[in-house]
Amino acid sequence: MKDVPLEIIITTGENPDPQLVQFSDLYDLRESITSIMYLWNTNCYYVDVTHQTFIINGGRKLHFEMGPCRVCYRRRNQHKYAMNDLKGKPEKTQIHIVGLEKIGTEKRLILMISEDGQEWRWANKL
């Protein structure tokens, strides 16, 4: 549990410098967000939307509450099995999900990023 609500850092097109914001600001700015960063001890999780890069360190649990926001990180895995197939093993893929949720409200931002960080999209729900 964290009491400090200002550990989310975002950058928007209007303001290229990283700034600390409340969740309500982030939600309102969601169409112009170019990067999201949040800090957890020595691990840094950084998403650069403009340049479509994603850097992540460690695979530890990242599900905690910070002030009015809940930040979650999870990996979503898919194993795709063919039927009527004799060619080989199933295809296995993974995407990263970074979610920011205003506690007690329906507002949330969920960003899904491909395993190699080259593709991303906003999602409405987990």
Partner 1 sequence: MGATVQVAETNGPSATSVETIDPANLNMGSDDSAELVPATYPITAQADGHAFEKWLRFYVSLMGGSNIVDNLKVWISSLGGGWKTGEGMTTNMRTTGYVQATYPTGGPIEVDSTVATQVMPEAEPGGPNLGISGGLGGQIVAAPNYSDWAVLQLDVSNLTPAGSVNQKTLTFQYDEQ
The footprint of partner 1 (CB under 8 A) covers 58-63, 72-90, 94, 97, 125-126
Q: By three-state DSSP, how is residue 23 classified?
A: helix
| 33 or 54: CB nearest partner 1 | 54
Which residues touch 62 (CB under 8 Å, ≥6 apart)? 40, 45, 71, 72, 73
Least spacing, CB of residue 100 vs partner 1, in Å: 15
Strand partners, 84: none
Least spacing, CB of residue 20 vs partner 1, in Å: 25
| 4 or 80: CB nearest partner 1 | 80
Least spacing, CB of residue 91 vs partner 1, in Å: 8
Which two tokens mark 18? 């990283």
| 17 or 125: CB nearest partner 1 | 125
Q: Are 44 and 55 in contact (CB under 8 A)?
A: yes
